[in-house]
Structure 1
Amino acid sequence: MTADFFQARGASKKKPEKEKVPISNPSLQPWVEKYRPESIDDVSSQEHIISVLQKTLSSTNLPHMLFYGPPGTGKTSTILALARQLFGPDNFRTRVLELNASDERGISIVREKIKNFARQTPRAETVASDGKKYPCPPYKIIILDEADSMTQDAQAALRRIMENYARITRFCLVCNYVTRIIEPLASRCSKFRFKPLDNSSARQRLEHIAAVEQIPVDHSVISALISTSSGDLRRAITYLQSAARLSSATNPPTPILPEDVQEIAGIVPDSIVRNFARTLGIDVPADGSGDEDIEMGDATNTITALRGFDLIRGTVRSLVREGYSASQILIQLHDIIVENPTLTGRQKSACALVMAEADKALCDGADEELWILEVALRVHKAITSNIV
């Protein structure tokens, strides 16, 4: 065989070079990541936790930590910002291991990946490329996001690792439900409870993002973002970005309206829910928007002359044909009933009871239209029977 043949074979075995990953356009980056806090001072509405972590940051004596609270309140952002302030951008990759909900959480991951990282001695500190001086303490940090999804066996195996390698590795468990963390594991951590963001903090952050992105939004749009997100700032920022994309899709761009935010969030329009509540006999005051008599499909025109059961059945059928979620309808109807000043406590409790039954049935896969009709009829009966 000729030398050219061997050269050809050698060339065929040569591994192809990896393609360079193109740098993503910053304008296409999710705003949740773009506006993630860079330092713990930027975290909103968690003053007590930030004050404790600032003292920890100055002493660099970090304990094992357990962050818990509702989603979107800044748990993961806080520990990532703290780690960056401790190690700097250059040492962050070698000193921090983050496992999120997309990773497997079985006992094998704890015994292999987590244990192997925990037992490694931290690498020597490298000089920061940005010229800043970072504390860079002699230990690593393992962040277990959504730790409440770990199995019981995995949590039991983790507590031993936390004890054996505490000198060179610190753990931060992030979860929504602290009751799902076994007590031996929780007792080894300092607990930090993250509370839902108050309206003023969420409003300030959303207005800041809108100003930086040069998006004209008024007070009602920000209020709609806050009310639909229920204290979840991450969800509110996502809704704002979606609304901004929808607004800029037309030429010229259309202004963002509260109805657009509700549509993106999957919320039933307030006017439709209020009309549904009036059909059930609930005294709902008008909000002054002028759209109280908005049509709900073709069935609305044919049922206005009907009364009682036929009226309620036609309204429910119209709601279902519009494609609204049964669970979302019940949530908004529940809020109207609970906050209504004209209803008695017994009437509200009777309505809440049937809604609880409907929620259980819907979770089990029951028919949505039948259960909305069931709720509507029993709520109508509870209100019109004058329960004292």
Structure 2
Amino acid sequence: MPELYKSRVLELNASDDRGINVVRTKIKDFAAVAVGSGRQGGYPCPPYKIIILDEADSMTEDAQNALRRTMETYSKVTRFFFICNYISRIIEPLASRCAKFRFKPLTEDIMNNRILYICQEEGLSLDSDALATLSSISQGDLRRAITYLQSAARLFGSSISSRDLISVSGVIPEDVVQALYSACRSGNFDLADKEVKNVIAEGYPVSQMLSQLFDLVVEADDISDEQKARICKKLGEADKCLVDGADEYLQLLDVASKTMQALCNLPQELCYES
């Protein structure tokens, strides 16, 4: 019932409506109005309204603090739903007032069944390799998978290959990742520097390179857990620096040198001087 939904549910994208003024006006005014219970238009209605804040982790800290007071005041007549990617960006007073539900990525079978249904309805041709690639690069996110599929269909037509999907997804080709990893294993700093410069020159996102390097290192069987831990620690530090606006070339070069140091058991000073 559209009229009932409009009066009972307020849905906001917090990445757009994320300022303190939105909390003090739109959210507070909606939360303050009481509603009746019983059946309306044949629908059972609970005695409260719902406010949904999508991408709530994009809200400013001041807005979240203002929202805390609103939640306390109107909790009897309004329920709040926060949808976020990073719960660590929700302030603790808000997080502690909520029941947390974590949704896992979809399984490969569910992803494949839905993608094949879409391909059948849209007249697209997707072979088994392309389907496996799409499932891998979307990492259980069906919306992302559909976006990649749509982009590939627009650019390459109805017959879509694994290479087409990789080109539209921004995923770095495995041979590029492997070349950088092999250069680090060689112990030759100049070779590693050359591969780093190739990555930057090709325009590949360094954050994506760090993610794929992480997968490669974790799955490697020929290096020790201690070496993996040292490399992964540096990958995490570099990723944080990139989020804070650090230079991509310098961060990837630092990762390469620290990876070389861990893989070749080199002292730090020798790693940089080689």
- Normalising to structure 2: TM-score of the pair? 0.79
2: CA distance between counterparts of 1:382 and 1:118? 55
User: 1:386 deviation in Å?
Assistant: 8.7
Matched, 1:343 2:223: yes
Q: Distance in 1 between matches of 2:203 and 2:194?
A: 15
Corresponding residue for residue 173 of structure 2: 269
Aligned: 1:279 with 2:188:
no
Residues 273 and 186 of structure 1, relative CA distance in 2, 3 Å threshold: closer
Secondary structure of the corresponding residue to residue 271 of structure 1: helix
Matched, 1:247 2:247: no
Partner residue, 1:104: 17
Unaligned runs of 5+ in 2: 268-274
**Aligned partners of 2:68, 2:235: CA distance in 1, in Å?**
42
* 2:22 alignment partner, SS class: helix
Distance, in Å, in 2 between the alignment partners of 1:183 and 1:354 is 28
The answer to whether residue 1 in structure 2 is matched with residue 91 in structure 1 is: no
> Does the 8 A contact of 1:110 with 1:154 survive in 2?
yes
Tell whether 2:85 aligns with 1:176: yes
3-state SS of paired residue (2:51): strand
Give the equivalent residue in structure 1 for 2:31.
118
Following superposition, the deviation at residue 202 of structure 1 comes to 2.4
**DSSP 3-state at the match of 1:103:** coil
Q: 1:144 aligns with which of 42, 53, 60?
A: 53
Match of 2:270 in 1: none
Contact 1:338–1:348 (Cα < 8 Å) also in 2: yes
* 3-state SS in 2 of match to 1:359: helix
Asked whether 1:321 is paired with 2:225, we answer: no
Residue 320 of structure 1: how far off its partner (Å) = 2.5
Contact 1:221-1:261 within 8 A present in 2 as well? yes
Q: What's the CA shift string for 1:6-49, capped at 9, x where partnerless?
A: xxxxxxxxxxxxxxxxxxxxxxxxxxxxxxxxxxxxxxxxxxxx
| Partners of 1:94 and 1:123 within 8 A in 2 | no
Give the Å deviation of 1:117.
1.8
The answer to whether the 8 A contact 2:234-2:258 is kept is: yes
8 A Cα contact 2:57 2:85, kept in partner: yes
Deviates more, 1:199-208 or 1:358-367: 358-367
- Residue ranges of structure 1 left out of the alignment (5+ in a row): 1-87, 128-132, 283-306
Report how far residue 91 of structure 1 moved.
2.5
1:197 aligns with 2:106: yes
Q: Work out which structure has the larger RCO, using CA pairs closer than 8 Å and 6 or more positions apart in sequence.
A: 1
| Maintained 8 Å contact 1:90/1:126 | no
Q: Distance in 2 between matches of 1:310 and 1:184?
A: 50
**In 2: Cα distance, 1:257 partner to 1:167 partner:** 54
**In the superposition, relative to structure 1, how do residues 354 and 169 fare at CA in structure 2: closer, same or farther (>3 Å)?**
closer
Paired position in structure 1 for 2:272: none
- SS in structure 1 at match of 2:100: strand
Alignment of 1:360-379 (within 5 A): 360-379=240-259
- AA of the residue aligned to 1:311: L
In structure 2, what residue type is equivalent to 1:119?
Answer: A
Q: TM-score of the superposition, structure 1-length normalised?
A: 0.58
Give 3-state SS (helix, strand or coil) of 2:116's partner: helix
* CA-CA distance at 1:310 after TM superposition: 4.2
CA distance in 1, matches of 2:92, 2:226: 40
1:157 Cα deviation after fit = 3.9
Distance 1:368 1:152 in 2: 28
CA contact (8 A) 1:110 1:158 kept: yes
Give the 3-state SS of the residue equivalent to 2:80 in structure 1: strand
Shift of 1:340: 0.9
1:210 to 109, 119, 125: 119
Relative to structure 1, is the Cα distance of residues 113 and 218 closer, same or farther in structure 2, using a 3 angstrom cutoff?
same
Distance in 2, Cα, partners of 1:373 & 1:324: 14
> Is 2:179–2:195's contact at 8 Å kept on the other side of the alignment?
no
Q: Is the 8 A contact 2:14 2:59 kept in 1?
A: no
Which of 211, 235, 239 is matched with 1:359 structurally?
239
1:289-317 deviation digits (Å, cap 9, x = unpaired): xxxxxxxxxxxxxxxxxx94443333333
Distance change in 2, residues 1:319/1:216 (3 Å): same
SS in 1 for 2:185: coil
CA distance in 1 between partners of 2:95 and 2:238 (Å): 36
Report the 3-state secondary structure (helix = DSSP H, G, I; strand = E; otherwise coil) of the residue aligned with 1:191.
coil
Moved more, 219-228 or 177-186: 177-186
Tell me by how many angstroms 1:262 deviates: 1.7
Output the amino acid matched with 2:130.
V
